Amino acid sequence: MTIAVFLGSLLGAMALGVPIAFSLLLCGAALMWHLDMFDAQILAQNVVNGADSFPLLAVPFFMLAGEIMNTGGLSRRIVNVAMALVGHIRGGLGYVAIIAACVLSALSGSAVADAAALSSLLLPMMIAAGHDRARSAGLIASSGIIGPVIPPSIGFVIFGVAGNVSISKLFLAGIVPGLMLGAALWLTWWYVARKENIQPAPRKKAAEVLQAVREAAWALVLPLIIIFGLKFGVFTPTEAAVVAAVYALVVALFVYREVSYRQLLPIFVAAAKTSAVVMFLVAAAMVSAWLITVAQLPDKIVGLLQPLMDSPKLLMVAIMALVMVVGTALDMTPTILLLTPVLMPVIKAAGIDPVYFGVLFIINNSIGLVTPPVGTVLNTVAGVGRIPMDEVTRGVIPFMIAEFILLFLLVAFPDLVMIPARWLY
């Protein structure tokens, strides 16, 4: 009955068009009423406590870093480096998008920010070069979701807080799977674009490549600072977010000089608005998370999944399939906040490494960002590129399938994640 009240109140509120954050609050209130412990003061206290978390400070700072990088020319210079390196290869603009997405992922940690930057910079160039519009938009959308996997990652921060898992270990464990996502997209783009008869751009001279690298050097250094700082314990993930924001601000203001003091207020306001949405979702979800624990829902879920507990791989397949279905209807943040407190006790009871599960869980949620009908990244690419949503959806399908294949390969072979992760620890 408790599970029915939880799901019925949440899905019912969402079906009525109530925003997800408020649906979570209504779900929490319904659970409190069902457990005969309704108290508005407890509800409000859990909302406040939900956002009162030091690790969550990383979210607004990574959002700010992404806004500054897109406005301050860091993103554009990274695209220029990728163009100089592989722009002359057949289908080179697609490979440029993948390389740029991997590098941008190590800067902002936001799929939407990366997809918006790539759409504005590369999509017009790909269409002008003669590439299929839908396929190009699909590639850029599917490349953008590498953002939450390669550190720094806002998704890992939220999962780490909700599941009480080391955010530093999640960051380091996400590096190799993120690069594997890029490799999967590379192979898929080679396959789908091989028949296009498009004249590639001329090969850049060595001097031009060096010039592009030199101009982007300040932007390219930031991922190394963050990764080495985390690996050697120089700073925590929250402090890494502050370092990223301050570094990007200094470079944009004083090195590239593409951001003026007058532009700072709109940049900060845009970052604050996006952060407020995420933080309110987190705060609202913490009410449900607390009540899920009080109502002992995880124990009930463990009981339902008991037949699969002796086979961790089969259990992971079932959980990943569940997350795939949920990802078609919910955005990444609410999915993490809703499912993490329910699934973590199951994962621990089955003896699955929480870091390994976290990486696959975030990859699955990231793919959900390009899964119709919700697909936040799909909407971003369609809006920025002024392309109908159905075209972007059609173009993303082969890349989405490749990403799901990789996901289930990682389920079948956990060492692909954990051996590089242990080395990086």
Give 260's DSSP letter.
-
What backbone phi and psi angles, to 5 degrees, belong to 36? 60, 45
- Alpha carbons within 13 angstroms on the beta-carbon side of residue 416 total 15
Task: Provide the percentage of residues in the chain whose pLDDT is more than 90.
Answer: 16
For residue 199, what pLDDT band results from cuts at 50, 70 and 90?
confident
Tens of pLDDT, residues 278-329: 777 777 777 766 766 666 666 666 666 777 777 888 889 988 988 888 777 6
SS3 content of the chain, % helix, strand, coil (to 5): 80, 0, 20
User: Quick one: pLDDT at residue 292?
Assistant: 67
d(CA 272, CA 261): 17
d(CA 36, CA 33): 5
User: Three-state DSSP class for 336?
Assistant: helix
For residue 389, what pLDDT band results from cuts at 50, 70 and 90?
confident
Residue 5: pLDDT over 80: no
Identify the residue with better confidence: 195 or 268.
268
Identify the residue with better confidence: 103 or 196.
103
d(CA 369, CA 363): 10
- By mean pLDDT, which of 86-90, 134-138, 409-413 is the weakest? 86-90
Average pLDDT, the chain: 82
Tens of pLDDT, residues 331-363: 788 888 878 888 888 888 888 999 999 999 999
**Exposure string for 196-223, b = 16+ CB within 10 A, e = fewer:** eeeeebeebeeeeeeebeebbebbbebb
Contact 351, 344 (CB under 8 A): no
* Contact partners, residue 266, CB within 8 Å, separation at least 6: none
d(CA 29, CA 368): 28
* Contact partners, residue 80, CB within 8 Å, separation at least 6: 212, 215, 216
Q: DSSP letters along 375-406, please?
A: -HHHHHHHHHHT--HHHHHHHHHHHHHHHHHH
Burial class (CB in 10 A: 0-12, 13-18, 19+), 323: buried
* Contact partners, residue 360, CB within 8 Å, separation at least 6: 316, 320, 407, 410, 411, 417
Residue 238: pLDDT over 90: no
Tens of pLDDT, residues 54-83: 777 777 888 888 788 878 888 788 888 888
d(CA 59, CA 245): 11
- By mean pLDDT, which of 156-165, 209-218, 279-288 is the weakest? 279-288
